[in-house]
Structures are given as C-alpha cells and as structure tokens.
Amino acid sequence: MQIQENISLKPYNTFGIDAKARYFGTFKDRDELEEFITHNPQFNTLILGGGSNILLSKDFDGLVLKNEMKGITELHEDNENVYVRAGAGENWHRFVMYCIERSWAGIENLSLIPGNVGASPMQNIGAYGVELEDVFFDLEAFNINEKKVITFTRSDCEFGYRESIFKGKYKDRFVILNVTYKLQKKPRFKTRYGSLEQELQKMGVKELTLKAVSDAVINIRMSRLPDPSKIGNAGSFFKNPLIPNSQFKELKEKFPDLAGHSLLNGEIKVAAGWLIEKCGPQDSVSWKGFRKGDAGCHANQALVLVNYGNASGKEIIELSEEIVKSVYNTFGIWLEREVNII
C-alpha cells in the first residue's frame, strides 16, 4: 500500500481540471483495496476509474483510490451465450475490441466510450440504441463499511436511463471489483439508431459484422464528440430530459422542429442538445459554441461542456447553471446533470 500526498488529478480526469487529491493510491486487487480502507477510515474516499464522468469542483480533501484491477476471463458458455468477466480496471474500449475479436456480440454499439469496465454499470452506459443492462449478467462489489464482497444481479442494480443503484441509494457505499457480461454467440444487431443506419450506408456496408457496426459507431463518435486528449470534457454534461407526452405536444406547437422520441412508458425523451442549441446567453441566440474564459459549450455538440485549457471546475459548474436556467426559461424543462460532481 503506497499513499502519495498532494497529487494533481489533472491527468486522471478527462475534463482536465487541475484539482489536487490530499492522498492518492492505486489498488490491483481486493486485498490492497481493503488495506487502504482499513488503515485510513478517517478519510473520505473517492473511487476513480478513467475519470471520464466526473467534474472536480475543488481539491479533494481525502483519499482518491484508482481502481487498477485487471483481467478478462471467459467463465462459461451455453448454446447461445458466453459469460465473460472483466476486472473493473480494464479499459472499456479495449474490452469491447477484445470481445469483437472473439466474435462475442452485444457491446459493439458501445465502442469508444471512454473509461473503465468498473464504471460501466454506475450509470448504465448507453449509446446508439444499446444500454449496458442489455448485456449485464452480474457484478461483484466490495461493501466499504462491512468489508465484504456482495454479488449484484441485474435486478439488484436497478438500472435506468443513465442510472443504477450505485448512483442512487448505494452511492459511495460499494467499490465495483468486476463485471460479468452475457454476450451473444450469434449477433442480434441493433442498427436502427438514425445516424448509425446512415453511417453504415455511407460506408457501403452490405452485410453486417460486429467490426462494421463498431467502425460505424467510432466514425460517428469521432466526427461529433470532442477528443478529451485535445479538449477537456466528460461527454454529455446533462441527461436528455424525459417529459410527459402532453407537455411535448404543447412545446411542439410553439417549436415545431423540437427533437424527441417516444419511450415505451409513453414519456418523450427530448434531445437536450437541441434545447441548449435553441436558446442562449443574453447577447446571443445559442449556447452552442459559447465560450467564457476557458469554459465552453462545444461547437458541434451542445450537450458537451468543455474545458479549453485552464477552466476550474467551479467555472464549468457556473456555466452549466446558466444553461439550466436559460433552458428552463425558454422551454419550461429542467435539465439534470449526467456528470458526477465531486
């Protein structure tokens, strides 16, 4: 167990915020994790994966523990599925590529999402018509107070849109150690997401393969989303809001090109990027491309807030609050944050 003091977290968060951790350590297995927690019970603890869904609002006056638990194991298979366990510290995209190479299907639409395996259930990551819960089997997590490992099945995790029990009721109580995915031997492709269908056509794909779908997703993502190694960001800053059909109909009368789609429960998921693009600060019609100091709203994807270099977490939060107010005043919809504020 090695603890470092006063470490800059800038290399450990994709927003590139230069906040400090009072103490910092890494763990490669459950025993190392338990040692850190048992010997330092007085500190607040932050479990860190790839740092791609956090915004550091200030220095962290506690112990940051970076999960580096590795390993990918094929547990067993039946006629239709293969059950694969990955350590929480495995890089998510590398895991996706590993599965595609072995023709294990189900997560190809989730290619190129930054971060690690351990955070994938935290907010039930999703993209291009697939959510993690579609392929989730179970996970093992360490209960910080009781110091024991518990298995969570899919129903235990209470998955929702960008939600799970670990973001809600069990926030900060468990450290996810590994996740087991139930992948398909015969792919059930999901390519109905508008821009994915278009990209596959553009690529001239006649017969779907896991690699073709993954490549199409990667192309779209690279064309729309800022690369965190060039411009700091954490992907979508807000969730797409869910509103009742009646409210959507009223808004549609006023704003005929309002973008949204119906969910099975009758609610409408409205495109937050559209809402943010269609209102703006006092002297401008749109937030899209807006910049104040080094904090900004990305020019290609209004749902992504960015750090052009030296923005502080506080400046990004202030900008996000201005956007929330502006969207509410224009459309009567409150945006909820997706990013975890630390």
For ligand EPU, the binding residues (CB under 6 A) are 127-128, 195, 224, 235-236, 239-240, 259, 271, 273-274, 277, 288, 301-303, 338
**Cα 214 to Cα 219: distance, rounded to the nearest angstrom:** 9
Contacts (CB under 6 A) with ligand FAD, residues 28-57 = 46-54
Which one of ligand EPU, ligand FAD, none interacts with residue 46, CB within 5 to 8 A by kind?
ligand FAD
Rounded Cα–Cα distance for residues 34 and 53 (Å): 25
Residues 131-190 that bind ligand FAD (CB under 6 A): 175-176
Task: Establish if 26 lies at the interface with ligand FAD (CB under 6 A).
Answer: no
Q: Which part of the chain contacts ligand FAD (CB under 6 A), choosing from 17-25, 110-118, 243-251, 281-289?
A: 110-118
Which of 19, 84, 122, 333 forms a contact with ligand FAD (CB under 6 A)?
Answer: 122
CB of 37 or CB of 119, closer to ligand EPU: 119
Binding of ligand FAD by 313 (CB under 6 A): no
Catalytic site residue 338? yes
Verify binding: residue 111, ligand FAD, rule CB under 6 A: no
From 162, 164, 277, 312, the catalytic residue: 162
Residue 116: strand, helix, or coil: strand
Nearer to ligand FAD, 15 or 290 (CB): 15
CA distance 25 to 63: 8
Could you say whether residue 107 binds ligand FAD (CB under 6 A)? no
d(CA 149, CA 175): 9
3-state helix, strand, coil in the chain (%, to 5): 25, 30, 45
27 Cβ contact partners less than 8 Å away, ≥ 6 residues apart: 33, 36, 65, 66, 67, 68, 69
291 is catalytic: no
**Residue corresponding to tokens 């109905």:** 192
User: 87 near 69, Cβ under 8 Å?
Assistant: yes
The SS3 of residue 319 is helix
User: If binding is defined by CB under 6 A, does position 260 make contact with ligand FAD?
Assistant: no
Residue 65 in contact with ligand FAD, rule: CB under 6 A = no
Return the HEC string of 165-210: CCCCCCCCCEEEEEEEEEEECCCCCCCCCHHHHHHHHHCCCCCCCH
Contact residues: ligand FAD, CB under 6 A: 14, 46-54, 67, 88, 113-116, 118-120, 122-123, 125-127, 175-176, 225, 228, 233-235, 340
**Residues labelled as active-site residues:** 162, 236, 338
